Structure 1
Amino acid sequence: MLLLYLSGLMAIYWLQGRLIYPGERTTRAHPLDFDPRFVWTSVVTADGLGLACRYCPPVAGSPLCILLLHGNGEDLRRRSAIAERLVDEGYGVLQVEYRGFAGNPGRPSEQGLYSDGRAALKLLESTGRAVVIHGYSLGSGVAVQLATETRCAGLILEAPFTSVVAVAKARLFWLPIERLTRDRYDNLSKIGRVCAPLLIYGGDKDLVIPTAHFEQLHAAANKPSQFILIRGAGHVDVWESGGERYVLEFLRTVADQC
């Protein structure tokens, strides 16, 4: 039994990259798959990686650009409908593809994804528009970190977790997860350092991230902050199950203050 336990520990330690970043195995997105209002461009990270991005500039007079950060088991194609809806509203939108995902160079890691987000944010800041950061699931970890480092106009967290450790402990409670986990994305310890207006939204049927995570983040956040629980929504359908309305309302409020 001890041998089996030790084998389990070793497996979790060495395979955690595949568990946290399953989207690393996604294929490169094809430009013809997407709305022609967007252009394909790239950003270069501090460690010299060129990452594919999908960008649509804001319309004249629109004060906002939105940085969309996707989840761990997907590439940016899964967020294309959201990106296109935001463009319909006149906002600029940038979708950055993480290192190691969809044919990008590099291997994903917590510090690596933070670097990816910083490079994308730098591109949007060069437009002179206010920036709202929207992070979904794993992307919430990148979004919170960026929001602690910059004066963004707003932060939106869709189906966020308090930390990767907390998510893993709920499933593998018999293992010393805190000692094994390299990439932690500790949103709960950071959210109190975010000064921007905040919207947290998630589904009450989410089987991946329990609603307690959303509630804890909201309780620890500075004001102004909102928490919207979408009835009947799971982990992957929060936007289309009612989240869209609240995101658009939040963005209009932020835009009015710019």
Structure 2
Amino acid sequence: MFTASTTPSYSLLSNPEKKSKMTIWSYMRMLWTKIICFAHEYAAYALLPTLLVLHTQWIYQFHLQYVFVVMAIILFCGVLYTLQDRLLFHPSMPPNSTFYVPFPTLLSYETVEVPTSDGEKLRGFFIKSDIGDPVKAPTIIFFHGNAGNVGSPACHPIPKLCAANVLTVDYRGYGKSTGWPTEQGLYLDGHACVEYAMSRSDVDPNKIVVMGHSMGGAVAIHLAATADENCHKISAIIIENTFTSLPHAAGHIFRNITTKLGNLPLSFYSNKFQSLEKMSRIRIPVLFICGDSDEIVDPRMTRVLYESCDSAHKIMLTIRNGKHNDTWCTSNQYHMFISSFLSMAFNGSIASGDDVTSNSTPQFADISWGTQYKADHDNLFKV
């Protein structure tokens, strides 16, 4: 508790020369306090040094330049911590992505609105399989990366080529969805999508697959790892060009600027997406896909995730010359592999093409569990 007093608290004020110096110091700390208060909405923790300046005598013993350097560093770290959401999430890339969401034309789709447990509304599409009976087909819940929206065509060929329904919904703050994205918010969005899919009468609740590209892979891994805790029935998972954790991904992306980002304590990151720690909890069938020319996420991270997964039914596909955002259209083996994976996951064996496919569907690949494969445009090789 502070009390008012008209008597100076410091005996130094009796010296005129030192009084002048303290007047300058008082002005400078007043200016600094205003700067801090202006920025506190982005870096609330930077107010702590200000309180030390105002109420601690020992700090006057240090040179001003050192005090301000320390405060500036703390302020910078606080601002950077708070602005990480804006550095990670890019709902407006490409431009107008929050205003214009292309429809999946030439497909049998419906627009959907998925409510979340915290009151947000997620909007997207439910695309029915063009092959066989959609009610009996697996349903893939597709989570896109940290930019764009559900209008991206990456998952649109799946209903035509893989005999599966697709539910693709924008995260909060993306496309036409409400809110602003955060790591925990995206997890809530993922749970809401699973619950929505299970509530539909035209979806087989025993054939729900979560699939994620890049950041979406981290969401899919979280859902699969916590399915039992949330009473969700997830039967399989597909991840594509996904990182082991956000700190590791940041260290790789900014490796030409600094090599220290990956070594910072986790407390420096407001979003962590620690997928590697969660992989050992997944026991359902898992398909790992990566492009060996990924310019954003190190392809070796997919191999690390594969090796850390304890599922007895896992398989990995590396697409030759596949980049971060075009792996899905670089090789014909991409959709063939997904078809084979789904067939193995739900039938126990590889079905023949005539069993569940039409003439427009690629033939199934000859693959087996616990094996790594590599594909070029047309051919598949066992690693």
Which among 156, 162, 174 is matched to residue 260 of structure 2? 174
Aligned-partner residue type, residue 140 of structure 1: G
Query: Which of 169, 177, 184 is the aligned partner of 1:104?
Result: 177
Q: Supply the distance in 1 between the matched residues of 2:154 and 2:324 (Cα, whole angstroms).
A: 16
Verify: 1:145 aligned to 2:219, yes or no. Answer: no
TM-score if structure 1 supplies the norm length?
0.90
Counterpart Cα distance in 2 of 1:254 and 1:178: 36
Provide Cα deviations, 1:94-147, integer angstroms capped at 9, x if missing partner: 001100011321110111111111111112222334111110000011100111
* Equivalent position amino acid for 1:38 in 2: Y
Partner of 2:286 in structure 1?
198
Matched, 1:229 2:315: no
* Deviation for aligned residue 1:45: 0.4
**Matched-pair contact (CA < 8 Å) for 1:144–1:187:** yes
- Partner Cα distance (1:18, 1:106) in 2: 14
CA distance in 2, matches of 1:10, 1:33: 42
Greater strand fraction, Structure 1 or Structure 2: 1
Q: Distance in 2 between matches of 1:215 and 1:17?
A: 27
Q: TM-score scaled by structure 2?
A: 0.62
Instruction: Report the aligned-residue RMSD.
Output: 2.4
User: Of the candidates 272, 282, 288, which is equivalent to residue 184 of structure 1?
Assistant: 272
Q: Of the candidates 32, 53, 57, which is equivalent to residue 124 of structure 2?
A: 53
Which structure's relative contact order is higher, taking Cα pairs within 8 Å and 6+ residues apart?
Answer: 1
Aligned to 1:194, the other structure's residue is in SS state: coil
The aligned length equals 257
2:112 aligned residue: 41
* CA offset digits 1:177-220 (Å, max 9, x no partner): 62321111111000111111001111111111112211110010
5+ residue gaps, structure 2, are 1-65, 228-232, 350-383
Quick one: distance in 2 between partners of 1:29 and 1:84?
21
* 1:64 counterpart residue number: 138
Cα–Cα, structure 1 residues 32 and 76, in superposed 2: closer, same or farther, change >3 Å?
Answer: closer
After TM superposition, the structure 1 stretch with the greater mean CA deviation from structure 2, 14-23 or 81-90, is 81-90
The question of whether the paired residues in 2 share the 8 Å contact of 1:169 and 1:177 is answered with no
For residues 30 and 100 of structure 1, the distance between their equivalents in structure 2, rounded to whole angstroms, comes to 13
102-111 or 172-181, which moves further after superposition? 172-181
What are the residue-to-residue correspondences of 1:3-18 with 2, within 5 Å?
A: 9-18=77-86
* Identical counterparts, % of pairs: 25
Residue matched to 1:208 = 296
Is the alpha carbon distance of 1:201 and 1:32 closer, same or farther for their aligned partners in structure 2, counting shifts above 3 Å?
Answer: closer
